[in-house]
Amino acid sequence: MPRGNNVQGPANEVGAKIVTSASDIEGLFDTCRVVLFDCDGVLVNSEPISLATLVDVLEHFGAPLSLREVSDRFTGRSSSAPIEYIKEQTGQDVTAAFKPYYYEMLFARYDRDLTKIDQIDDVLAALRARDIAFCISSSSSVERLEKTMQVTGLGPWFEGQVYSADFVENGKPAPDLFLHAADGMGHAPEHTIVIEDSVAGVTAARAAGMKCVGFVGGGHYADDRETACQRLYAAGADIVIDDMANLARAIPA
């Protein structure tokens, strides 16, 4: 069953602030058997690129929004969300045209600017060394995830362990993707930890009955990590961190 609406675990002890101590994280892993990683903003520092690109794409299709509005509406959501928004605003059905236009622009910027989140390799190595399974569970399409893995070199960590919103009917904030991924990895929700940077993703993890570590170390939160932290706690994150090095140190031997 999903956990309640109150923040659980170490968050209560640290006052719902960004956690910097490995000891405040360790307890979450007591029963953990698998970790589900969101991709954009968690594994890779892609959100500043994708949000800025989406601003340009929405303007192209006649449904302009500011960068802040795009971030608030679409962070953590699949591409169906902006497609639906364009239809609401303009009456156009851009389903066929949206992805080719968006991806052409986005992938060119990925080739130039996309980087991994600092110390994410250390987290993945720690999980592997301690025999904790992990996979990607992302709102991004398979095509976008493949490009991300190729550009950043993260692909070998996740071969055969990538779950996309393409695989389920309802994307985040519905729990479908996380439940599908955990089942595919062979583990129950109560033995699962989700690493997420978005309110939609944290909400989905809570609805799936999983523990959730919020992450606010991505570039899209650089100007206001504290506000982002509070939003993720309000959505139900157990803890919120801004440095993957602390998570790597906390994964128990």
So what's the pLDDT on residue 210? 98
- In the predicted model, what is the mean pLDDT of residues 17-44? 95
Task: Output the six-digit token pair for 94.
Answer: 């851009």
- The proportion of the chain whose per-residue pLDDT surpasses 70, expressed as a percent, equals 94
The mean pLDDT of the chain is 92
Taking only the tens place, the pLDDT of each residue in 210-225 is: 999 999 999 999 989 9
So what's the pLDDT on residue 114? 97
So what's the pLDDT on residue 218? 94
Taking only the tens place, the pLDDT of each residue in 112-161 is: 999 999 999 999 999 999 999 999 999 999 999 999 999 999 999 999 89
d(CA 235, CA 203): 6
Q: Residue 9: is its pLDDT beyond 90? A: no
- In the predicted model, what is the mean pLDDT of residues 232-248? 97
Task: Output the six-digit token pair for 125.
Answer: 């190595």
Element (H or E) spanning 153, and its range? none
Element (H or E) spanning 250, and its range? helix 244-250
Taking only the tens place, the pLDDT of each residue in 45-74 is: 998 999 999 999 999 999 999 998 998 898
Where does the pLDDT of residue 253 fall: very low under 50, low under 70, confident under 90, or very high at 90 and above?
low
Q: Residue 19: is its pLDDT beyond 60? A: yes
d(CA 119, CA 203): 25
So what's the pLDDT on residue 8? 42
Q: Residue 169: is its pLDDT beyond 60? A: yes
12 C-beta neighbours (distance < 10 Å), count:
12
* Cα–Cα separations (whole angstroms), residue 169 to 38, 54, 100, 164: 18, 23, 21, 11
CA end-to-end span of the chain, whole Å? 28
